[in-house]
Amino acid sequence: DTGVSQDPRHKITKRGQNVTFRCDPISEHNRLYWYRQTLGQGPEFLTYFQNEAQLEKSRLLSDRFSAERPKGSFSTLEIQRTEQGDSAMYLCASSLYSPPLANQPQHFGDGTRLSIL
């Protein structure tokens, strides 16, 4: 049983560049989540998908951020015109939503650490 996979593990880029991260969830999981974690803080919710539908976006997700999950499997998170404040760990998680089973935990990947120079 493979876990959640994120690529790349680290990304260093100059301010103003665009970056894209990929997340491959656990294969049978239909929900996929993106979180952002800054140094010394807990993760903060950004957005989530059920299958290919993006069902909620946090107000933290500015217009420069876009996430997709085109076929309901892997997801990409793109940040355009990166800023210094975008430096953070970007975590992806997945879970199985299967009513009436509730409370399925979210399983996280290792994250992508973004550093903006």
Partner 1 sequence: AQKITQTQPGMFVQEKEAVTLDCTYDTSDQSYGLFWYKQPSSGEMIFLIYQGSYDEQNATEGRYSLNFQKARKSANLVISASQLGDSAMYFCAMRGPYRTQGAQKLVFGQGTRLTINP
Query: What torsion do the CA atoms of 78, 82, 83, 86 make, to the nearest 10 degrees?
Result: 30
By CB under 8 A, name the one of 15, 16, 56, 62 that touches partner 1. 56
Q: In the block, which residue shows the tokens 């299958």? A: 51
- Nearest alpha-carbon partner for 21 in 40, 34, 3: 34
Stretch that binds partner 1, among 16-24, 62-70, 75-83, 105-113 (CB under 8 A): 105-113
**Is residue 89 a contact point for partner 1 (CB under 8 A)?**
yes
Q: Least separation, in Å, of the C-beta of 11 and partner 1? A: 13
91 lies in the binding site for partner 1 (CB under 8 A): yes
Q: CA-to-CA distance for 61 and 69, rounded, in angstroms?
A: 16
103 touches partner 1 (CB under 8 A): yes
* Residue 43 binds to partner 1 (criterion: CB under 8 A): yes
Task: Indicate whether 98 belongs to the interface with partner 1 (CB under 8 A).
Answer: no
- 33 near partner 1 (CB under 8 A): yes
Query: Cα dist. 12→18, 43, 51, 86, 106 in Å?
Result: 11, 20, 30, 11, 27
CB of 64 to partner 1, least distance (A): 21
Does 2 bind partner 1 (CB under 8 A)? Our answer is no
Q: Is 23 in the site for partner 1 (CB under 8 A)?
A: no
Q: What share of the chain is helix, strand, coil (3-state, %, to 5)?
A: 5, 50, 50
